[in-house]
């Protein structure tokens, strides 16, 4: 197997960093469905022990990204059309509710933060930094989740956080030009406007449309990628 070049972790949240690195490698095509994820190799490349690798793999298994086969190890799951539809229909509903609740709770400071995140997404798009784009995209949505102040809703969203990140990365790969990525970033502005107007109904509708559009893009990208792989196999 080709060397993936997992990066050394930068902070103490090793499980989270390892999971993010594996997600990055899968989204970038370094690992295909059915490929084995070898704890020892990942630990060596990242310069850490195998314990956080095992923790990360358990988390990824819980979100359906990895499947563990007894006495054989962990393998990348095949995420297809059904997985995309399930995640994005779930996200559209729960994030729509989060936006509805957040519309009456966001502060001026929150709105300024969301605006800054959008500007940073645009800047990342212009310098072709997909990873920075995704990081800010996820942070943007997480702030809205938090302002819902709904504990059980937050647990649901936390349970799909890593899978959401994976599909966010894939979604950005589906945008073939810098300008498309900029447009994707600016697509967050109507969400901010609805929240700023304290319009709960519009905030829910706008973010649901935003997520649905992203889901359609991911499904199309994965479908086309599978067709190309089948044609070359």
Same domain for 60 and 95, yes or no, is no
Number of domains into which the chain is organized: 2
The helix or strand, by DSSP H or E, that contains position 184, with its residue range, turns out to be: helix 178-186
Same domain for 126 and 184, yes or no, is yes
Same domain for 159 and 185, yes or no, is yes
Cα within 13 Å of Cα(168), Cβ side: 25
Domain contains 146: yes
* Domain boundary pick from 76, 91, 121: 76
Task: Mark 184-193 as b/e (b = at least 16 C-beta within 10 Å).
Answer: bbebbebbbe
Burial class (CB in 10 A: 0-12, 13-18, 19+), 142: middle
Same domain for 190 and 112, yes or no, is yes
Domain contains 7: no
pTM attached to this predicted model:
0.81
pLDDT tens by residue, 61-120:
988 899 999 989 999 998 888 889 999 999 999 999 999 999 999 999 999 999 999 999
Same domain for 115 and 154, yes or no, is yes
Same domain for 70 and 171, yes or no, is no
Q: For position 43, which CATH number holds?
A: 1.10.10.10
> Contact, 186 vs 122, CB < 8 A?
yes
Same domain for 147 and 60, yes or no, is no
pLDDT (0 to 100) of residue 75: 96
Domain contains 9: no
Domain contains 3: no
Q: For position 87, which CATH number holds?
A: 1.20.120.530
pLDDT (0 to 100) of residue 11: 55
Same domain for 206 and 171, yes or no, is yes
Percent of the chain with pLDDT over 70: 94
Domain extent at residue 221:
81-232
> Contact, 66 vs 80, CB < 8 A?
no
Same domain for 68 and 88, yes or no, is no
Residues 194-200 have a mean pLDDT of 98
């Amino acid at each position: 197997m080709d060397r993936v070049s997992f990066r050394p972790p930068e902070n103490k949240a090793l499980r989270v960093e390892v999971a993010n690195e594996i997600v990055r490698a899968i989204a970038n095509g370094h690992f295909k469905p059915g490929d084995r994820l070898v704890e020892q190799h990942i630990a060596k490349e990242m310069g850490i022990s195998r314990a956080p690798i095992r923790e990360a793999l358990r988390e990824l298994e819980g979100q359906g990204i990895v499947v563990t086969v007894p006495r054989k190890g962990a393998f990348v799951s095949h995420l297809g059309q059904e997985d995309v539809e399930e995640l994005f229909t779930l996200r559209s509903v729960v994030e729509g509710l989060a936006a509805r609740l957040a519309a009456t709770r966001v502060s001026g400071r929150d709105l300024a933060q969301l605006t800054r995140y959008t500007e940073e997404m645009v800047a990342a798009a212009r310098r072709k930094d997909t990873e920075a784009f995704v990081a800010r995209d996820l942070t943007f949505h997480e702030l809205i989740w938090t302002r819902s102040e709904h504990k059980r809703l937050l647990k649901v969203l936390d349970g799909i956080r890593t899978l959401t990140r994976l599909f966010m990365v894939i979604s950005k790969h589906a945008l073939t030009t810098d300008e498309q990525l900029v447009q994707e970033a600016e697509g967050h502005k109507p969400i901010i406007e609805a929240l700023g107007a304290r319009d709960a109904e519009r905030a829910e509708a706008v973010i649901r449309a935003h997520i649905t559009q992203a889901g359609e893009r991911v499904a199309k990208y994965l479908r086309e990628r599978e067709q190309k792989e089948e044609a070359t196999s």
